[in-house]
Amino acid sequence: MIFWAAGFAAAFSVALATPAMAQSYPAKPIRMIVPFPAGGATDILARALSQKLGEKIGQPVVVDNRPGAGGTIGADAASKSAADGYTLLLATSSTHSIGPAINPKIPYNAETDFTPIAYVASSPNVVLVPNSSPSKTMGEFIAHARKNPGRLNYASSGNGTIVHLTSEYFKAQSGTFILHIPYRGTALAMPDLISGKIDVLFDSFVTGMPHVRDGKLRALAVTTLKRTALAPDMPTVSETLPGFESVTWFGVYGPKGMPQDLVGKLNQAINAALADADVKDRFARLGAEPTGGTPPAFAAMVKADTAKWKKIIVERKITVD
């Protein structure tokens, strides 16, 4: 009877502690792991979000860069942290959609080792061709590629990257045969694209559009499902190939097992931060659009995105280097 009473008292005290913890949370600074180097797009976006999130939630949110292995090192560190709400991860398509789909040896399960908190932002790719290209529209480019199977080529930032997968996805949807020329980054492919040695590149909006604005390249379309506020007059690929979409997404996770009341508090604060005009402006300058929404909606988006890339990887027999 004494042991039973002691056990009941312990369980009862734990039950009482959870809402008390939620009411006092956060009582100290929060760490946001960014699994990519400082100065990159993910890092800059994280710093814009963390500053405003700290204001909304009442404690500083400190960015902790843990780069390496395509984001795997930082994501793994976050997955093994305490599920107390004081360690968050700013994940991307690379860490939670493409990585798990193409590399079964990653040290974490992207679906079960994390707690989804909020969908933060998305960034489109843009379809770039040389100014010397005969194609002025997406429809013209597809018609040109179909008439010249195997004679056109596309650049990528390497096997298994989102640029590579997006290009193969486009080929599958458009019924075209375009040769793959991998580079060690799209910046290295730019001189060849500008000179006309490369016929097309599905580049990040952030890095691709400056060349368009400088008059060095022609943009045919963006890869969002609907037209983006970042370039409202630019057509989408989906206007020619219905349903085509390829974006880089950014979202906040915690380790698995986080209490739902902490998840709800963080989700509310992140959504409030994303609605801030300054955050919207800073994201736009990065080529990203704030998204927001509920944790279940975020989880469903990632699951669908992973399934899409897995299908492309299997059908096109894509492997990592």
Q: Is residue 85 part of a domain?
A: yes
Shared domain check, 291 and 150? no
Indicate the residue among 239, 260, 283 that finishes a domain. Answer: 239
pLDDT tens figures, 291-303: 999 999 999 999 9
What per-residue confidence (pLDDT) applies to 289? 94
Are residues 81 and 56 part of one domain? yes
Q: Is the pLDDT of residue 14 over 50?
A: no
Residues 92 and 136 in one domain: no
What CATH number is associated with residue 214? 3.40.190.10
Query: Count of domains in the chain?
Result: 2
**2 belongs to a structural domain:** no
59 in the same domain as 197: no
CA angle 259, 265, 266 (to 5 degrees): 90
**pTM (two decimals):** 0.85
Q: What number is the average pLDDT over the span 198-212?
A: 94
Residue 22 pLDDT: 64
Q: Which of 239, 271, 302 is the last residue of a domain?
A: 239
37 in a domain, yes or no?
Answer: yes
Based on the fold, state whether residues 220 and 230 are members of the same structural domain. yes
Same domain, 300 and 255: yes
Q: Residue range 124-153: average pLDDT?
A: 98
Same domain, residue pair 139 and 155: yes
In this structure, the answer to whether residues 173 and 210 fall within a common structural domain is yes
Q: Are residues 117 and 145 in the same domain?
A: no
* Same domain? 81 vs 138: no
**Of 196, 217, 239, which closes a domain?**
239
Residue 4 included in any domain: no
Beta bridge partners of 194: none
Give the pLDDT band (50/70/90) at residue 159. confident
Q: Is the pLDDT of residue 190 over 80?
A: yes
Stretch 178-192: mean pLDDT: 94
Q: Is the pLDDT of residue 42 over 80?
A: yes
Residue from 122, 157, 91, 164 nearest 313 by CA? 164
Residue 115 falls inside a structural domain: yes
Does the pLDDT of residue 10 top 60, yes or no?
Answer: no
Q: Does residue 198 share a domain with residue 114?
A: no
| 152 shares its domain with 285 | no
The pLDDT of 28-52, averaged and rounded, is 93
Residue 12 lies in a domain: no
Give domain status of residue 10, yes or no: no
Q: Is 7 a domain residue?
A: no
- Segments forming the whole domain that contains residue 184: 125-239
Lowest mean pLDDT among 134-138, 183-187, 254-258: 183-187
CATH number of the domain where residue 118 is located: 3.40.190.150
